[in-house]
Structure formats: structure tokens, C-alpha cells
Amino acid sequence: MTRKAVIIVVALILVVGVVIGDSSGDKSLSPVEAFCAPTLYKDKCVSTISPVAANASAGPKDFLRAALVATMEEEKIWIEKAVAMKNDSFVPADNKALDDCKQFLEMGVRDLQSALAMVDDNELQGVYDEVDEFRNWLSGNLAFQDMCQEQIDNPDLKTRLQDGLRNATQLTTNALVLFAELSTILRSLNIPLEVNPKLTR
């Protein structure tokens, strides 16, 4: 799937609210599998969250946190790598594009840090109440990853960067869906919450 297609699919999930609740009666799903059910890259979601779920006291807030931390760590790696790709044998515009790309990724990481702080400063109910804020931060991060790639004209360099950022994009997409579908996910885990008055659906 191309990046634009991913964004469109995520937008559809958000708008149409693709029905995922049907699996809630499936008792064979582990809590992590149930949690990850709506994500587009399910295996990646499960492998990100399983280590945290090994702690029996960990709950959905810890799972959300793990999804954000994994995304941030992956993106930070690519901030370093974008700079490391600079090369004296490139035309100056290519090296400048890599610097610009790095700055967009740094803006994305700042959004992820804000999201992480919001998780850490709140109980699950408080996180749920701010779900729109998380959606903004995460879709903003997808846009920053796009802007990073759009800086690069050199086709070879662009391919390397696109391939490299794919994991960060998939992790961001997963995190976006986890927050966007939080009410459905919590219902499928039988975790009661007060209705979020800010939620439009």
C-alpha cells in the first residue's frame, strides 16, 4: 500500500467507523490480540505490545503507551539515519533535503512526546476524553513523515528513505487507529468508561 493509500484507509476507518466489534465475542483472542484487532499492521501491533502485556498488572493505558514509545523510537532512529545519509558526493540540494527531512521528523517526534506526556499524566478515562487530541498528534506525525520524504528529489535517496521510514509509518498508523477506535477496543475488553462527551460518534 502506498503512503497516500494508508492515509486514505485510516481516514475511512475514522469516518465510517469500520465495524470491528464483531470479534468481541471471540473468547479465543488474547487481550493483546483483541486490543490490536482494528489495526492495519496487526502483527506489528501485537509484537510491540506483547512484551508489556507480559506484566499482569499492565492495562490498556500501558498498551497505548507502548504503541507510542515504539513509534517514537523508530522515528528517532530515522532522524539519525537521515543525517547519516548526507554525503559529500551528493549535490548540495540533496544534503539540504536530508537536513529538512530531519527537521520534519523532529517535529513529528515532538508531537509523539506530547502524546506520551498526555498518557503519563492521565488515567485511562482522561486519555479517552482527549482522544481527538491524540488523533491530531498522530495524523500530524504521518503528515510530517510525508513532508520529510517530499523534500527528496534524488530518486535513489528517496527510495532509501521511503523504505526506511515504512516501519515508522506503519507504527504511527497503528497508534492512530488504536486511539481512534479506543471506545470500541475498550468495549471489546469489557472495560467500562464514561461516555466521552467530545466524541462525535
Neighbours of 134 (CB within 10 A): 24
Q: Which is nearer to ligand NAG, 2 or 55 (CB)?
A: 55
Give the shortest CB-42-to-ligand NAG separation in angstroms: 13
Closest CA to 145 of 191, 113, 103: 103
Closest CA to 68 of 133, 159, 15, 163: 133
Give the span between the Cα atoms of 9 and 62, in whole angstroms.
Answer: 26
**Which residue in 28, 57, 190, 200 binds ligand NAG (CB under 6 A)?**
57
**Window contacting ligand NAG (CB under 6 A); options: 19-27, 29-37, 52-60, 94-102:** 52-60
Triad 98, 100, 90: Cα angle to 5°? 30
Give the shortest CB-65-to-ligand NAG separation in angstroms: 9
Please report, to the nearest 10 degrees, the dihedral formed by the alpha carbons of residues 147, 151, 155, 161 taken in order. -50
**Window contacting ligand NAG (CB under 6 A); options: 13-21, 54-62, 99-107, 146-154:** 54-62
**Site string (152-171) toward ligand NAG, x via CB under 6 A:** -----------xx--x----
Looking at this protein, which amino acid is placed at residue 192?
P
Hunting for cell 468481541 — which residue is that? 24
Give the shortest CB-86-to-ligand NAG separation in angstroms: 8
* Number of residues engaging ligand NAG in binding (CB under 6 A): 9
Give the span between the Cα atoms of 42 and 35, in whole angstroms.
Answer: 10
Give the span between the Cα atoms of 88 and 49, in whole angstroms.
Answer: 41
3-state secondary structure of 18: coil
Give the span between the Cα atoms of 135 and 177, in whole angstroms.
Answer: 8
**Which residue in 20, 31, 62, 129 binds ligand NAG (CB under 6 A)?**
62
87 binds ligand NAG (CB under 6 A): yes
**Which residue in 2, 4, 5, 89 binds ligand NAG (CB under 6 A)?**
89
**Site string (104-143) toward ligand NAG, x via CB under 6 A:** ----------------------------------------
Judged by the rule CB under 6 A, the positions of this chain that interact with ligand NAG are 55, 57-58, 62, 87, 89, 163-164, 167
